[in-house]
Structure formats: C-alpha cells, structure tokens
Structure 1
Amino acid sequence: MKNPRIEMSDTATHWQQVWTTKQPEEVSWYQDDPSPSLEMIQAAGLRRDAAIIDVGGGASVLVDRLLDLGFVHVAVLDIAEAALGKAAERLGPLGDEVTWIETSVLDWRPVPGLFDLWHDRAVLHFLTEPADQARYVEVMKAALGPEASVILAGFAPDGPEKCSGLPVSRHDAASLGALLGPEFRLVEERRQDHVTPGGSVQRFQWARFIRTLP
C-alpha cells in the first residue's frame, strides 16, 4: 500500500515537536563531526566568499565548521524554528553572521542564482512523492547559479526504510542524478555507515554534482 502524503503543515508540526522535545545529540542523525559534508564542500574548491546553503541544516554543527573555515556567506534553511533556534543559540554572536531561513524547502522562493553550493543531508529522502521531488529540484535550480555544486546525502538503497518515524525514499548516485536531470554532472560519490547515538548503523549514500548548464 502506498504511503499517504504528509501535508506540509503536519510536517512542520512533526519537526517542531522533535526539536522541542529532544536535544540535538539525542536524534538519530546527530553528528558531532560532519566530516563527510566538510570533505565534499572543500573538494568543490569554493572561494571563502561563496554563498552556501545547508538545506534542512537545523541544529547541525556544519554551520559552525563552515564559519570556522572562513566562509562568510552561509545560510541554513529548516522547517522547524526550534531547530534553527538551537543552532543560533549555540553560535551566540556568530549567529548574526548566518542567514536563517524558516520554511519548507518546497515553499521557499529563493533569490534566483544566489547560491554557489547546495548541501542537503537527509531532507530529499523524506520526499517520497514524485511531485514533491520535482518541486525540490525546481527550487534547487532556481537557487543555484551556473557551475554551482550540489551535495546530497540520504539513506542508501540498503539503508533504513524510515527516519524519525516517517517513510523515506532511498537512493544511490544514479537515482539522485536521474532526479536532478542532465544539467548536473556527478563528480563524486561515497557510502557512509552512520552510527546513531543509540549505536545503530544507518547506511548513507553521498553524491556531489556540478551544474554544467545554465
């Protein structure tokens, strides 16, 4: 039986509930060291004044590490205000240097062509409906400039079927490339066994793409 689509208002409520009842280190996707993300971002060879957006970044410490590396135009988008609030509180005054965007990625209307790199660890995999996946790619294309980079990570084909109690779509690099379309070229892929705070292993697929057409 096909999983029913979760309406965006319900999705926002779900994630707000998660982040108001749990600390960042208590959720299964928590990383104290986002090294796969950082390694791929650094491999993209960006200038320090490049514009980076972390989609679904929430309370992740990736934004801290990017600021530590000297990146000066970093945005974090998340549907849950509570998640963004935890990150901003952790950063203190440094949080004033970050652009915080509270919205669903499917509802976002980005400034066209603003960003040089799009990073998403485990947002796209929650989109199980083809129409939502297509809308995600539409928003991503609008947000990115020419020759921009895209880094996507989510559960691999042999990874879990659910995350945070919600169904997910599992991908390999080929299926991610098919979703993005021919204007994005795959330049790097890797697998990762993410160990959750509870000790479970979640198999992740990572892929980095470069936009080759305007």
Structure 2
Amino acid sequence: MSDPRAGSDPLEVRELTVHDLEALAEMHRRAFPDSVLSVLGTEVLSRYYRWQIAGPHDVDAIGVWSGDVLVGAAIGGRFNGSMIGFVKGQPVFLSFRLLRHPGVLFGPRGRAAAATGVRLVTRPGLRTEPEQPERVPDGSFGLLVVAVDPGARREGIGRLLLEAAEDCARRRGLARLHLTLDPTNWGAAAFYRSQGWERLGLDGDTDRSWLIGKELDPGG
C-alpha cells in the first residue's frame, strides 16, 4: 500500500458501504496494528465491519478517501450489540481464528476478549441489545470507531471525521456525541480535548476506559 499522503489527491468524505469492507479492514490494521481484531486478520475485520454497517443497528458510516485509498473512517449511531451480536454470530469462525493465533490470548486485551467470547457463546439466551445502556447519555450520538491511517495523520482527517459525525448527529436531532477513550493514549486524549470533548465522569469509567462527550452547538 502506497503512502496515502503521496500525490495531490484531494480528500473526499463519503458514506461507507459493504463494498468498502476490504479497504476498511486494511485501514483498521494500519491504524490499530495491536488490536485483537487486527491480529486475528483481515477476514475477521471484514466480517466485524459488515456486522456494524449492515447489522441491526441504526448507524452512519463515514469514510475519508485520498484518491482510491481509505485514510480515515468513523462509524456512529445506535448499536444493538456491536460486539455481542458479532461474537454470537461467528462462534466457529472466531474459534478457528483464535486457534491459528494463540498468542493473542496472552495479552491482557486478548484474555479479556476470550473471556467475553466464551461467556457470550455459552449463554444462548443473551439478547442482542444496546450495550451498557445506562452509560449512554440521553440524546447522544455514539461513536464506535474513529480511525485515521498512521501515514496520513496530522492532515486534518480526524477533524473531518468528527465534523461529519456532528453533522450526522444534528440530522438525527441529537444534541451531543460520546465515545469511549483510553486515557493512556495521550495523543488521542489531547486531540479530543482540542476538539471540545471532555470526560463525562459517569460510573463505570476505569483507568483504561473513559466515556467522553461533546455538546453540540445547535447552529452548527
């Protein structure tokens, strides 16, 4: 994959569809190389994003393109089991992928993901419904994914994605946005602060997971 910054292609913001799954999966692996999903491979990511975009959710999927290269993506809205439904719908496939990549289980994120997967697969009565609904602020647009290709950072792509997400929220008549942030990711934390986001301080935050949000100006 060539450097997304190469050449002079203008940036284009447009909706992502299931036809963009391969590009989205490849960009995710570049943006989050150490994530469990990235380690498990492009096919896992493609299935994961198909579930997010085409599953029983009410979401907007936004992409930023430089020519034919996807350099940024954001997916937000209301999710009915963003991870629960994916794991429960892919038990055999995900089990085989874990067997092919057993090393993923030795990291703290891998152990947590495996424990969650076992719990979901062995509880057939668990419903696909909004996760942690008590942590979802009223009238808020939830962002599940905000990703920028590392080769195209500091090009204003993150700002474009957040502005597009704000537009989506306003079209839905929502007054705020929220997402989950790892506060030890200093660069991401500083970026969101610079864009007017702040910690909401709700119960359930941990040392590695904060719910942050932004109130929207009704006038845009």
TM-score of the alignment, normalized to the shorter chain, above 0.5: no
- Give the TM-score of the pair, scaled to structure 2: 0.36
**TM-score, with normalisation over the residues of structure 1?**
0.37
Decide which structure has the larger Cα Rg and report it.
Answer: 2
Q: Could you say which structure has the higher helix fraction? A: 2
